[in-house]
Amino acid sequence: MTRTTDLLLTALAPAVWGSTYYVTTEWLPGVDPLTLAMLRALPAGLLLLALVRQLPPLRHLGRIVLLGTLNFAVFWSLLFVAAQRLPGGVAATLGSSQALLVLLLARGWLGTPLHAASVAAAVAGAVGVGLLVLAPSAALDPLGLAAGFGSAAAMAAGTVLSRKWQWGVAPLAFTAWQLAAGGFVLLPLAMLMEPALPALQPAHVGGLLYLGLVGAAVTYFLWFRGIARLGPGPVSVLALLSPVVAVGIGWALLDQSLTPVQLFGALVVLGSVGAGQSAPLQQQPAAITHPSREPGQHAVRPTLSAHRATSL
């Protein structure tokens, strides 16, 4: 499979995530955020576990729990806090810092060279997201700002560690383990901190099925697969597509208007995504070894030397 195909498949994940705001607000009103996050992660993780019929080795269970906590429990929880306390544009702009954080974390944890062109693409993407979604009158709540940056940092750390700790396991099993772990971490939080789930209407069921099956199981499989094959850096810049899709859905389905500044911001984001893939190609750091690979597991295809290891 070519690198272009891998990029296109991986890009489907943030494109689908861009629809999350529409589905949540239009199909799932009244469902509390932690409960929603748990219902998105846990059923999807259990379904994938039933499909792969493979549990993580006990010696790696702690790392799987940490990855599930970072990528789902902490990321989604803080994201909801930021969304509640900040205008959507501010929260999205803070989230766009993930690409730059990934570059920095990959430099320290994976030994990936840090190129100026990659950093410039990540910064330009964050600026483009700001132009796309940030209103001049946006209020800046300190707790909301901390939550927004914390969610970006959690996802960045989870992305880089997912590249570091994949152990050659198949991406589908790796996705199942993390979703289930994140869902089990969220379960007691939702039960203790939020009221019981209201009676579900058909729209609720449809929204939960979409967010769980498509927005979690399928997209995170593509995401972790992309991290393993391309490296976290090129993948992380693709996440900037999410707010572009969200704004496009708002324009197409909710009759929201687009200003020239927003259109320019969308072009900047798309340009930064392209630049992030064509930034100076670099030699991968030393191959990650898999001393703990289980019998019968297949190694992840070695990342090509042209692919950079840096991430979302």
pLDDT digits (tens, 9 = 90+) for 109-150: 999 998 999 999 999 999 999 998 887 766 678 898 899 899
pTM score, whole prediction: 0.84
CB-based contacts of 244, cutoff 8 Å, min separation 6: 18, 132, 266, 269, 270
Segment 251-291, tens digit of pLDDT: 998 888 888 999 999 999 999 999 988 765 444 443 343 43
Give how far Cα 76 sits from Cα of 88, 93, 149, 227, Å. 15, 16, 12, 20
* Cβ count within 10 A of residue 52: 16
pLDDT tops 60 at residue 37: yes
Query: pLDDT band at 22, cuts 50/70/90?
Result: confident
For residue 286, give the 3-state DSSP assignment: coil
- Treating both helix axes as pointing N-terminal to C-terminal, what angle do 33-52 and 75-85 enclose, rounded to 10 degrees? 160
Distance, in Å, from the CA atom of 272 to the CA atom of 282, rounded to the nearest integer, reads: 18
Nearest to 37 by CA among 50, 24, 19: 24
Q: Which residues of 114-153 are buried (b: 16+ CB within 10 A; e: fewer)?
A: ebeebbebbbbbbbbbbbbbbeeeeeebeebbebbbbbbb
pLDDT tops 80 at residue 229: yes
* Of residues 137 and 213, more confidently modeled: 213
Give how far Cα 124 sits from Cα of 102, 105, 133, 152, Å. 15, 19, 14, 17
Query: pLDDT band at 236, cuts 50/70/90?
Result: very high
Distance, in Å, from the CA atom of 108 to the CA atom of 309, rounded to the nearest integer, reads: 11
Looking at every residue in the chain, the average pLDDT score rounds to 85
- Provide the pLDDT for residue 221: 97
* Of residues 106 and 89, more confidently modeled: 106
For residue 225, give the 3-state DSSP assignment: helix
